[in-house]
Structures are given as structure tokens and as C-alpha cells.
Amino acid sequence: MKLGYAYDDTFLLHDTGTFHPESPQRLESILNRLHKTSYFKDMHWVKPNKLPFELIESVHNHSHRERFSVIQGKRGSFDGDTPYSESSFDAALLAAGSGVDLVNKIRANEIESGIALVRPPGHHAETGRSMGFCLLNNIAITAGYLLTQGIEKVYILDWDVHHGNGTQEIFYHSDKVFFTSLHQYPYYPGTGSVHERGEGKGENFTLNIPLPMGSGDKEYFHYFQETVIPSMLDFQPEYVLISAGFDGHRRDPLAGMNLSTNAFAEFTRLILSATKQIGAKTVSFLEGGYDLDALAESVEAHIAVLAG
């Protein structure tokens, strides 16, 4: 299975400060680990292009685009968690453009699946604001782009330990994007209860699986097999996009879940088994994960399955 990965060194220049957990070392640890694998040389590098500015407004509003545009070459912060530096504007446009480039490569039959090894992450960014380390919503922008290209159904699965509030909010009224999230609850950002199911046309196209602190492989596998995969098979999407956060790992310092490294390989196997049945394509997006060794091990486990 030919796996493409999007990456650019500019991602390392997004400077969040000395003690911020979302650091350049996260990507460095992943790449160092992947370079030691036997299959990395067979993966197809996709050098991302900056997202065309008009595509920002496919999921974000004009006010957010304006707020984002003025950070170019500057240092500051959108909130206490979400700093930016002189290179963050470029890094965010490349991160958001990575998913678009990967799906274009898939549609051109140059690769079969993809992973965006990017920072800043994206799933907390809402229609009108950056938050939670995220400047632009990378996965939502890719989903929105696919819908403009004749794709009728996109399934987004978010297994980051934090609820993907931004992605949910952006597609809450849509029946074209099915959003599913498994996350520690209650926890940052405070959203993601079982009662949040979408509104209007989007009613019942949002599926939240809030899990208590300490949940591990057994609990996650149960919901994957009994809830997530059936919802995917029922929806019959053409693309499955994954917000792949690895902060549910038992060694992660920012959360309280108990997942093993191997769990992320098993999640991926279950998803690929389902996408094979329905003929859907898969693109994964790096979100959280803050213990450097656990992050690198878990991303490798995920990619090893994606790469076949």
C-alpha cells in the first residue's frame, strides 16, 4: 500500500516557547524513529504547498481569516495556550495545505493513503477562533476541500484524548461530514458529551464517545468494534480522515488515559478493514501527543499499519 507523508522543515520553526508541550521536538522524535524503520524509504514524500488563502474561508469565517493574516512575521498569542512566532503563519498554511495535497495525490493515483506529519495541530480551531495549540483546522479544511471536488461523504474520526471541538463545531449542521470523537471526559475543552449529536441537517451526524479517566485498550476496542466501525460502515464515506492524537497513551503527561502503543496499530487495522469494505480512502493528521518517546512509538505503530 503506497503511503504518502506530508512534511516540511518549516513545521520545526513554529516556536511555541521553551516550556510549551507542543514543541518542535515532537516532530523531530517522530522523524528520528521513522528513519530507523525498514519501510520509511518506500514511503512517498509529499512536499506540501501553502494553503491558498481563499480556502481558509471554506471552514473559517472572514474575521478569523483576518485575525490569522496579521500574525505573519510576528510573535504573540491567540490565548494562553496558543502562541505564535515569526514562522507560525507559514507553518500553519503548510500544515493546512498538507491534507489538500495528500488527497490530490490520492485522486491522481500517485499514492493510496496519506499522513500529514504537521504542526501546528488543528482540531481545536473553530470557525471563528484559534485555540488549544491550533491555528487553522487542518482536517476540517481538507474535508471542506473534498466536498468542493465532488466528494459527497467524508467521515472524520478523532481519537485524540481531547475532544475535537473545532471540527465538531464546523460541521455540526452538515450531513456530508460524519464526525466521531473518542476522548477523555470531562476534560479540556469541556465539550463532547453524548448529547451533542448535531443540529438541523447535521442531526445524528455527530457521534461523541466520552470516556472516563483511566480508560485503556479494552474500553477503546469495545467502542471501536461496537460503535465506531458500524457507524462508518453505515455512513459509507468516500474518505475517512483521522485526527490522530497520541496523547491517550498511558505515558502522556497531559492526560489520564491508559492506552498502550499497540492500541494505535489496532485502531488503524480496524479502520483499514472497514475502509476496504466500502472502498474509502484514508488520510491521517497528526494532532496531540506530548511524551516524546511514546509519541514516536505510537506514530510508528500507526504508520506501519497504514504502510501495509
The chain-wide mean pLDDT, for the chain, equals: 98
| Whole-angstrom distance, CA of residue 306 vs CA of residue 39 | 11
pTM for this prediction: 0.98
Q: What is the CATH number of the domain that holds 185?
A: 3.40.800.20
Query: How many other C-beta atoms are found inside a 10 Å radius of the C-beta of residue 76?
Result: 11
Q: What is the pLDDT of residue 161?
A: 98
Q: Are strands 239-244 and 206-211 parallel, antiparallel or unpaired?
A: unpaired
260-285 mean pLDDT: 98
52-77 mean pLDDT: 97
Residue numbers of the domain that contains 66: 3-307
Query: pLDDT, tens digit, for every residue of 47-59?
Result: 999 999 999 999 9
DSSP codes of every residue in 10-56:
GGGG----TT-SS-HHHHHHHHHHHHTSSSGGGSEEE-PPPPPHHHH
Q: What is the pLDDT of residue 83?
A: 98
What is the pLDDT confidence band of residue 229, given thresholds at 50, 70 and 90? very high
| Whole-angstrom distance, CA of residue 229 vs CA of residue 247 | 22
* Residue 85 Cα to chain centre, angstroms: 22
C-alpha cell at 139: 482536517
Domain count, the chain: 1
- Residue 124 falls in the annotated catalytic set: yes
Query: pLDDT, tens digit, for every residue of 136-169?
Result: 999 999 999 999 999 999 999 999 999 999 999 9
Run of H or E including 254: none
pLDDT of 1 higher than 90:
no
| Whole-angstrom distance, CA of residue 294 vs CA of residue 207 | 28
Which of the residues 124, 163, 183, 302 is marked catalytic? 124
